[in-house]
């Protein structure tokens, strides 16, 4: 279980770090200077400043990996297969929940 405190991008980090517990179990906070920087909610990576940086970085990595695959396969597969390959990889990596 984790929690997030939303704040403006220009705000400084907090001097006081709230500690949340449920049944004596400490709840981990998500934040830029912490272990978990963002979380995925309904397919979108959200961070404490609600910027799009996490999502944009994730999409750039996905497109880069798809470009590499297409480059290697372009002389072997027909264009229709390459298009299907691109669409399936981008959809899979964009919706996968294990990437933060």
- Identify the residue with better confidence: 6 or 77: 77
Whether residues 37 and 14 fall in one domain: yes
The pLDDT, as a whole number, for residue 14 is 59
Over residues 53-96, the pLDDT tens digits come to: 777 887 788 888 888 888 888 889 898 988 888 888 777 766 66
Burial label, 48 (beta-carbon count in 10 A; 0-12, 13-18, 19+):
buried
Residue count of the chain: 100
Instruction: Name 38's bridge partners.
Output: 47
Whether residues 58 and 29 fall in one domain: no
- Identify the residue with better confidence: 9 or 61: 61
The pLDDT, as a whole number, for residue 86 is 81
The pLDDT, as a whole number, for residue 21 is 79
Residue range of the domain that includes 64: 52-100
Rounded alpha-carbon distances, angstroms, from residue 58 to 10, 13, 28, 52, 67: 23, 24, 23, 10, 14
pTM for the full predicted model: 0.53
Find the distance separating the first CA and the last CA of the chain, reported in whole Å. 15
Over residues 14-50, the pLDDT tens digits come to: 566 677 778 888 887 777 666 777 777 776 777 777 7
Number of domains in the chain: 2
Contact 45, 100 (CB under 8 A): yes
Whether residues 42 and 8 fall in one domain: yes
């Amino acid at each position: 279980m984790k929690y997030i405190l939303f704040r403006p991008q220009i705000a400084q980090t907090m001097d006081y770090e709230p500690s949340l517990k449920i049944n004596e179990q400490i709840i981990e906070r998500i934040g830029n200077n912490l272990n978990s920087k963002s979380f995925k909610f309904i397919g979108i990576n959200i961070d404490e400043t609600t910027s799009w940086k996490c999502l944009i970085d994730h999409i750039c990595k996905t497109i880069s990996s798809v470009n590499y695959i297409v480059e290697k396969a372009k002389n072997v597969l027909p264009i229709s297969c390459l298009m299907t390959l691109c669409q399936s990889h981008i959809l899979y990596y964009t919706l996968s929940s294990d990437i933060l």
